[in-house]
Amino acid sequence: MRIMLIGAPGAGKGTQAKILEKSYNAVQIATGDILRKATEAGTELGLKAKSFMDLGHLVTDDLMIKLIREKFTQPGFSQSWIMDGFPRTVAQAEAFGELLDELNLKLDCVIEVDVERPLLIERITGRRVCRNCQAPYHIKFNPPKVENTCDYCGGHDIYQRDDDSEEVVTNRLKVYDLQTSPLIEYYKLKNLLHKLDGNLPVEEVTTKIVNLVNEAR
């Protein structure tokens, strides 16, 4: 399996990627996680990425491509993967295609998870994370059992990331419309794109994705 999930922030790409990762023994390539690890490490590239993320801007194509290339060329890297959050621009898609050609790999299909804007904003602004163990929560859909106390490590620092604030989220969605939406047309022209209704319950979206993957393999 070599698939790509695209869609606006909050569309549920990460949730679906984790489910598919377990079902198909594939590796989830979550660029959000890659970027956060780089910023937490305080590397030069990580600090550059943070300056963009804190403002709700997309990280530059050059920086993202360097990080992805590094991941794909690691010794023993899996031949079965799910791209989650990359590419975000046509330039990134073209560079990723060149990388796959270089490594003699083929992309099976691209799945667009389409979600209505109000639901996207609710999903993102409600996100919370345990600062100690990084366990994810949502104030409406998945709150901790005890307020501000992590269910897993017992920590008392459940916080909202800077890039999940309403102001930043609104800007992120505007950036998505301007820079990422053209990906839909790009992959449509390559006959790789499949569009799914991401407003449906998680289980229904998963079923539809699995059916598409089985058809494409």
Residues with a known catalytic role: 13, 88, 127, 161, 172
- 123-170 tens-digit pLDDT: 999 999 999 998 999 999 899 999 999 999 999 999 999 989 999 999
Tell me whether residue 139 is in a domain. Answer: no
Tell me whether residue 176 is in a domain. Answer: yes
Q: What is the pLDDT of residue 156?
A: 96
CATH of residue 175's domain is 3.40.50.300
CA 143 to CA 128: how far, in whole Å?
Answer: 8
Say which residue, 215 or 82, is predicted with more confidence.
82
Amino acid identity for residue 150 in this structure? C
How many folded domains does the chain comprise?
A: 1
Tell me whether residue 130 is in a domain. Answer: no
Q: List the domain range (segments joined by +) for residue 194.
A: 2-116+167-216
CA 120 to CA 168: how far, in whole Å?
Answer: 13
Residue 144: which residues within 8 A CB-CB, separation 6 or more? 128, 137, 150, 151, 158
Q: What is the pLDDT of residue 88?
A: 83
Q: Which residue has the tokens 């799914």?
A: 196
Residue 54: which residues within 8 A CB-CB, separation 6 or more? 162, 163, 168
Q: What is the pLDDT of residue 100?
A: 95
Tell me whether residue 135 is in a domain. Answer: no
Residue 59: which residues within 8 A CB-CB, separation 6 or more? 35, 48, 49, 52, 53
Tell me whether residue 97 is in a domain. Answer: yes
Q: What is the pLDDT of residue 78?
A: 85
Mean pLDDT of 7-14: 90
CA 34 to CA 29: how far, in whole Å?
Answer: 8
Residue 20: which residues within 8 A CB-CB, separation 6 or more? 1, 3, 26, 28, 82, 206, 209, 210, 213
pLDDT at 25 over 80: yes
Q: What percent of the chain clears pLDDT 70, i.e. is strictly above it? A: 100
Q: In what order do the strands lie in the sheet with 158-159?
A: 136-138, 127-130, 158-159
Q: Cβ(64)–Cβ(57) under 8 Å?
A: no
Tell me whether residue 44 is in a domain. Answer: yes
**Residue-wise DSSP of 4-24:** EEE-STTSSHHHHHHHHHHHH
Tell me whether residue 151 is in a domain. Answer: no
Tell me whether residue 145 is in a domain. Answer: no
Say which residue, 194 or 32, is predicted with more confidence.
194
Beta partners for 104?
A: none
3 state DSSP class of 109: strand
CA 192 to CA 197: how far, in whole Å?
Answer: 17
